[in-house]
Amino acid sequence: MLRLSEAHKQLLSALARGSRLQDHRDLDGGKVYKLHALDDASEVLIAASSVAYLQRHKLIESNMKFPAATYLLTDRGAAIAATLTIPA
């Protein structure tokens, strides 16, 4: 069952508005997830558990690039994001 937290909703809305979610990998294979604003002026750290949840429910998918994969809304994720009324 899909239960979106406020953090999930915020992330989906930001992606729908054009922000970019990327995983940044270090030399040891660790990942840090960052949401980059559309104007690239700011970035926000995103919990790995939020990214995993949205992937598991097929709302986002990775383009599998190395060293910084970008996560995109799926059709299902975009449809859900369109129903959210979260201000920028």
Domain containing residue 54: CATH number: 1.10.10.10
Is there a domain that residue 16 lies in?
yes
Cβ contact 56:68 at 8 Å: no
Is there a domain that residue 11 lies in?
yes
Q: Using alpha carbons only, how large is the chain's radius of gyration in Å?
A: 12
Is there a domain that residue 56 lies in?
yes
More confident call, 3 vs 66: 3
The number of distinct structural domains making up the chain is 1
Please state the separation of Cα 64 from the chain's center in Å. 14
Q: In terms of residue numbers, what domain contains 78?
A: 6-83
Is there a domain that residue 88 lies in?
no
When pLDDT is cut at 50, 70 and 90, the band that residue 88 belongs to is low
Task: Note the pLDDT tens digit of each residue in 2-20.
Answer: 899 999 999 999 999 999 9
More confident call, 10 vs 86: 10
Distances (CA, A) of 84 to 4, 33, 45, 67, 80: 11, 22, 21, 31, 7
pLDDT at 87 over 80: no
- What are the residues whose beta carbons fall under 8 Å from the beta carbon of 57, sequence distance 6 or more? 2
When pLDDT is cut at 50, 70 and 90, the band that residue 34 belongs to is very high
Is there a domain that residue 1 lies in?
no
Is there a domain that residue 60 lies in?
yes
